[in-house]
A = this chain, B = another copy of it.
Amino acid sequence: MQEYYSLHPRFYHAVDCIIFGFSGGELNLLLLKRKFDPGMGEWSLMGGFVQEDESVDDAAKRVLFELTGLTNVFMEQVGVFGKVGRDPGERVISTAYYALININDYDRQLVESHNAHWININELPALLFDHEQMVERAKTVMKVQAELQPTCFSLLPEYFTLTQLQSLYEAINGAALDKRNFRKRVAERDFIEKTRLIDKTTSRRGASLYRFNEEKYNNSQRLKI
Contact = CB atoms under 8 A, between A and B. Distances in A.
Interface of A: 1, 4-5, 7-13, 36-38, 49-57, 59, 77, 79-80, 82-84, 89-93, 95, 144, 148
Copies assembled: 2
Contacts of A54: 84
Given A1-B38, A50-B93, A59-B82, 16 more contacts: A4-B37, A4-B38, A4-B89, A5-B89, A5-B92, A8-B12, A8-B49, A9-B52, A50-B82, A55-B82, A55-B83, A55-B84, A77-B80, A80-B95, A82-B95, A93-B93
Name, among A7, A10, A57, A90, the residue most crowded by chain B CB atoms within 10 Å (CB to CB). Answer: A10
Contacts of A49: 7-9
Nearest to A148: B144
A80 B79 CA distance: 7
Name, among A50, A80, A91, A93, the residue most crowded by chain B CB atoms within 10 Å (CB to CB). Answer: A80
A6 to B, nearest CB: 8
